Amino acid sequence: MQLQDKYRIAVLSAYALALHGFEALLPSPIPWFRLGLANIITITSLTLFGFRTAMMITLVRVVLGSIFIGTFLGPSFMLSLGGGIAGTCAMGAVHSVSKTLFGPIGLSLIGALFHNTAQLFLAYLLFIRRIEAVLVISPVIMLIGIISGFANGVVADVLIKNILKNDPDSIQNVARA
Amino acid sequence: MKKAIKNTTLADRALFLILLIISAAGFFYSGEALSLGSEVVVEVKGRPVYTLSLDVDMELEVEGSHGHGVVEIKKHKVRMKDAQCDNHICVRQGWISRGAIVCLPNDIVVIVEPGRKTDIDAITG
């Protein structure tokens, strides 16, 4: 890892953390409803800087975010960590197979889907232990994930285009993993 | 925003549609899963007398305070088929799959309750 990678990860993690914290402050109409705004940063860094950077940012964001909000090592931290890792891995896998098949919106949808699936699976394993409850709730969660994933994808797309257009120098010296 | 949507690849759009279809189908399927767990409770004079599954088709004669009533279960729905009372409001209510049928003169109440299996006792996240 180069020094520049470290700077990059630090700055992007700060952005992701800010979004993560901001989102925790928003009142949510449904208890399990979250926008996943921090995923915008994950998608952007995955597309511009590669999988390793994106995964580092996700890990830093989840751990530090839970420390700031006060849920570190609690149940929601487990769900957040599992969902974050699964989502980033899924997006990274798809992105490494083909860079042109899916755009940011498609990546965001995949990330949201895997994030939610992993969370449901973990919630089932750790807390609920009732397959009916999980089955009943999953279409709702999936639909919310599609909507918020789409919105995040649009923002990430605009962000990536703007960075590439206005500041192409910032993505030089990228060690593609 | 418009530009971003225009820039989506074919795979993006296909994925979006497929996910929407799956979740819409999931809504119907989960509705079915919910009703499968339901049960019918027949109360006479405020006391639960019978607890029946909504999945098993059957007819049942219940002795009320004024006469008897006939409860019929068919295709996950329940109705009061016949009752010995004057106004027959309970019979006219017809088939229900949720809620309750009340036969006031006979003091018979038929309640459709979600089965215990589908009660959600914890939501986290």
- Are B57 and B26 in a shared domain? no
Contact between A16 and A38 under an 8 Å Cβ cutoff? The reply is: yes
Give B8's contacts in chain A (Cβ within 8 Å): 103, 105-106
| B31 in any annotated domain | yes
Give B22's contacts in chain A (Cβ within 8 Å): 142
Q: Quick one: pLDDT at residue B116?
A: 55
| B122 in any annotated domain | no
User: What DSSP designation does A100 have?
Assistant: T
Sequence-distant contacts of A123-130: CB under 8 A, at least 24 apart:
A123/A79, A123/B124, A123/B125, A126/A75, A126/A78, A127/A75, A127/B122, A127/B124, A128/B120, A128/B121, A128/B122, A130/B117, A130/B120
- Are B6 and B59 in a shared domain? no
Counting Cα atoms < 13 Å in the Cβ hemisphere of A34 gives 23
CA angle A122, A14, A152 (to 5 degrees): 60
B8 to chain A, closest Cα gap in Å: 6
Tell me whether A24 touches chain B (CB under 8 Å): no
The complex's ipTM?
0.80
CATH code where residue B48 lies: 2.60.320.10
- Are B26 and B55 in a shared domain? no
- Are B111 and B75 in a shared domain? yes
Q: Quick one: pLDDT at residue A112?
A: 95
pLDDT tier, A177 (very low <50, low <70, confident <90, very high otherwise): very low
| B109 in any annotated domain | yes
Q: What is the pLDDT of residues A64-73, one digit of tens each?
A: 999 988 888 8
- Are B43 and B93 in a shared domain? yes
Domains plus CATH for chain A?
Answer: 3-171 (1.10.1760.20)
Q: Under DSSP, is residue A103 helix (H, G, I), strand (E, B) or coil?
A: coil
A25 to chain B, closest Cα gap in Å: 14
pLDDT tier, A89 (very low <50, low <70, confident <90, very high otherwise): very high
Residue A54 has pLDDT above 70, yes or no: yes
Which amino acid is located at B47 in the chain?
R
Interchain contact, B122 vs A128, CB within 8 Å: yes
Q: Please state at what angle helix A75-97 crosses helix A51-69, rounded to 10 degrees.
A: 170
Domain containing B24: what range?
2-35
How many of the other CB atoms lie within 10 Å of CB of A166? 9
| B125 in any annotated domain | no
B→A interface, C-beta within 8 Å: 1, 3-5, 7-9, 11-12, 15-16, 19-20, 22-27, 29-30, 33-34, 37, 117-125
A51 token code pair? 């999988």
- Are B82 and B24 in a shared domain? no
Q: What is the mean pLDDT of chain A?
A: 88
Interface test mutation site (partner A, options B12, B17, B21, B119, max chain A beta carbons within 10 A) = B12
Q: What is the pLDDT of residues B5-18, one digit of tens each?
A: 777 888 889 999 99
- Mean pLDDT, rounded, for A135-140: 83
Percent of chain A with pLDDT over 70: 94
- Are B55 and B101 in a shared domain? yes
Contact between B94 and B79 under an 8 Å Cβ cutoff? The reply is: yes
Interchain contact, A101 vs B11, CB within 8 Å: yes
- Are B45 and B94 in a shared domain? yes
| B19 in any annotated domain | yes
Q: Quick one: pLDDT at residue B118?
A: 47
| B123 in any annotated domain | no
| B71 in any annotated domain | yes
Residue A160: C-alpha distances to residues A44, A154, B23 (Å):
6, 10, 29
Domain count across chain B: 2
List chain B residues with pLDDT less than 50. Answer: 118, 125
B51 to chain A, closest Cα gap in Å: 21
